[in-house]
């Protein structure tokens, strides 16, 4: 029993004892006006105090343990009282409408932003955020993540359209004048090869073999035999080399028609590379075969582990907080401030939706907690919260009875005098 409840009970008991003693003490001195007046007051105060004691006691238990009808109201009507209390809480005190109305009036971002901004500046908060980030990174299971990355890589590579890639390549090659550069590169390499000492001999040897293997009749046969007798491998190689070098020098000039024809041919081939179905099918087949036999799991795991390690080192760097963390959070705060109304509405809508779905649980929770209490515990709870006021009802009953008794006894005495 609480101290305040005990004190109020003692005051109520003392008031009843005073009335009882006063009534008994005035009995031997009856017949005098002032004595009769006090006796009437004490008598009425005693009756009022006893009546209020009976009434207050009857709320919680049977007075003196006697099962008088319509007493022990709280334990006898527990279900009806608790059900009424739950309904009142659900329908009136904590109704969906009242909760939602209060929530709609709360400026969440306006109240939270200053607190969050202030907390962000403290070392404790900054260290806590860093610790959370590191813990989140450490919890990443690289071995489980690697197959996901592999699957995504294969999916992305499989989705690439070869035609578009080839079109992009052809566009880049033409933009960078690859046609001219390729031709010049080939001419340069050909000129270098022709100027090598052994090239002349190779060209002469090949040409003589060709002439020796030519099968012709008549005049052409006579002409070939005459040519073979005049030329040897060295002379024939030198002639062919000079002819080829002359052609290469001609092709180096921008205005040469043969050069223009070759460049146009190369351009045409480059432009049509994305329409070359045979080439596209070949690349697709190569890609499918490569992806089916590709086993990048170990490499992906190594890369992810290295990224994980580097990320933790990056977070541990002293410059991370000032250079990265705080600016990012401040950007988030700026975004929240710019969209304060929308964010408040979203939060309010989410709370309203939560209340809408779970409002019945408020009453269920109250009902569940009340059902856990025994009658004794429920009575003690009510008495501890209302006991002081209830005990003062007894005091007021005794005092009011005393005053009314004085008044009535005084009127009765006056009537007798008349």
Which domain-ending residue is among 232, 264, 290? 290
The structure tokens listed for 55 are 């009434």
Dist. CA 397–CA 197, nearest whole Å: 137
Please answer whether residues 256 and 250 qualify as being in contact, where contact means their C-beta atoms are separated by less than 8 angstroms: yes
DSSP letter, residue 339: T
Number of folded domains in the chain? 2
Check whether residue 278 and residue 383 sit in a common domain.
Answer: no
Which of the four pLDDT bands, split at 50, 70 and 90, describes residue 222? low
Q: What is the pLDDT of residue 9?
A: 65
Indicate whether 260 pLDDT > 80. yes
**Choice between 81 and 131, residue whose per-residue pLDDT is larger:** 131
pLDDT in tens, 111-128: 888 888 888 778 888 888
Instruction: Pick the last residue of a domain from 236, 256, 290.
Output: 290
Rounded to the nearest 5°, which phi and psi values hold at 339? -115, 35
pLDDT for res 205: 81
Is 212's pLDDT higher than 80?
Answer: no
Measure the CA angle with vertex 361, ends 356 and 362; round to 5°: 90
The pLDDT score that the predictor gives to residue 211 is 62
- The predicted-structure confidence for 304-362, as pLDDT tens digits, reads as follows 999 989 998 898 888 888 888 888 888 888 888 888 888 888 888 887 777 777 766 66
* Domain end point (choices 290, 305, 325): 290
Task: Report if residue 54 sits inside a domain.
Answer: yes
- What Å distances lie between residue 210 and 66, 223, 227, 230, 414, CA to CA? 140, 14, 12, 16, 165
Q: Worst-scoring range by mean pLDDT, 41-55, 163-177, 269-283?
A: 41-55
| 40 assigned to some structural domain | yes
What are φ and ψ of residue 218, in 5° steps? 70, -140
| Residues 278, 164 within the same domain | yes
Residue with the larger pLDDT of the pair 265 and 237: 265
In a domain, 235, yes or no: yes
Domain that holds residue 284: 159-290
Is pLDDT above 70 for 263? yes
The answer to whether position 405 is within a domain reads yes
Q: What is the percent of the chain with per-residue pLDDT over 70, rounded to a whole number?
A: 68
Mean pLDDT over each residue of the chain, to the nearest integer: 77
Question: Which residues have CB under 8 Å from 299's CB, separation 6+?
Answer: none
Q: DSSP letters of 344-406?
A: HHHHHHHHHHHHHHHTHHHHHHHHHHHHHS-HHHHHHHHHHHHHHHHHHHHHHHHHHHHHHHH
* Angle between helical axes of 33-60 and 3-26 (0-180°, round to 10): 140
pLDDT at 216: 53
pLDDT at position 307 is 92
Which has the higher per-residue pLDDT, 146 or 360?
146
Separation of alpha carbons 193 and 278, rounded Å: 33
pTM of the model: 0.47
Instruction: State whether residue 264 is helix, strand or coil.
Output: helix
In a domain, 263, yes or no: yes
Q: What is the mean pLDDT of residues 277-291?
A: 87
Query: N- to C-terminal Cα distance for the chain?
Result: 54
Residue 113 placed within a domain: no
Residues 175, 286, single domain; the answer is: yes
pLDDT, average across residues 140-157: 88
Q: Which of 1-10, 189-198, 344-353 has the highest mean pLDDT?
A: 189-198
pLDDT at 377: 66
Alpha-carbon span 167 to 182, nearest angstrom: 19
| Residue 87 belongs to a domain | no
Asked whether the beta carbons of 384 and 15 are under 8 A apart, the reply is no
Residue 349: inside a domain, yes or no? no
- DSSP letters spanning 204-233: HHHHHHHHHT----THHHHHHHHHHHH--H
């Amino acid at each position: 029993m609480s101290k305040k409840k005990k004190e109020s009970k003692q005051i109520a008991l003392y008031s009843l004892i005073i009335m009882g003693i006063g009534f008994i003490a005035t009995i031997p001195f009856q017949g005098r006006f002032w004595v009769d007046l006090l006796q009437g007051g004490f008598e009425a105060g005693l009756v009022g105090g006893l009546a209020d004691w009976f009434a207050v006691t009857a709320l919680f238990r049977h007075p003196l343990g006697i099962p008088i009808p319509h007493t022990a109201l709280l334990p006898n009507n527990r279900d009806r009282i608790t059900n009424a209390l739950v309904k009142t809480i659900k329908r009136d005190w904590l109704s969906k409408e009242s909760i939602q109305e209060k929530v709609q009036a709360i400026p969440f971002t306006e109240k939270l932003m200053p607190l969050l901004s202030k907390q962000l500046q403290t070392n404790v908060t900054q260290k806590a955020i860093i610790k959370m980030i590191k813990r989140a990174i450490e919890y990443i299971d690289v071995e489980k993540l690697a197959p996901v990355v592999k699957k995504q890589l294969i999916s992305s590579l499989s989705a690439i359209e070869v035609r578009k890639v080839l079109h992009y390549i052809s566009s880049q090659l033409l933009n960078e004048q690859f046609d001219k550069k390729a031709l010049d590169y080939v001419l340069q390499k050909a000129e270098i090869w022709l100027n090598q000492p052994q090239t002349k001999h190779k060209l002469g040897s090949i040409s003589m073999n060709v002439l020796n293997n030519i099968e012709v009749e008549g005049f052409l046969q006579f002409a070939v035999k005459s040519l073979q007798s005049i030329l040897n491998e060295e002379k024939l190689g030198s002639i062919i080399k000079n002819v080829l070098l002359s052609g290469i020098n001609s092709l180096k000039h921008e205005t040469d028609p043969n050069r223009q024809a070759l460049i146009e041919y190369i351009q045409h081939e480059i432009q049509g590379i994305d329409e070359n179905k045979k080439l596209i099918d070949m690349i697709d087949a190569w890609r499918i075969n490569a992806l089916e036999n590709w086993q990048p799991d170990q490499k992906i795991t190594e890369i992810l582990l290295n990224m994980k390690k580097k990320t933790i080192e990056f977070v541990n760097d002293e410059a991370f907080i000032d250079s990265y963390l705080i600016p990012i959070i401040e950007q988030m705060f700026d975004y929240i401030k710019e969209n304060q109304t929308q964010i408040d509405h979203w939060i309010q809508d989410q709370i309203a939706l939560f209340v809408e779905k779970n409002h019945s649980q408020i009453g269920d929770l109250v009902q569940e907690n009340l059902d856990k209490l025994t009658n004794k515990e429920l009575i003690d709870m009510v008495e501890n919260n209302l006991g002081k006021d209830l005990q003062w009802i007894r005091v007021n009953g005794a005092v009011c009875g005393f005053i009314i008794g004085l008044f009535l006894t005084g009127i009765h005495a006056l009537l007798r005098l008349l």
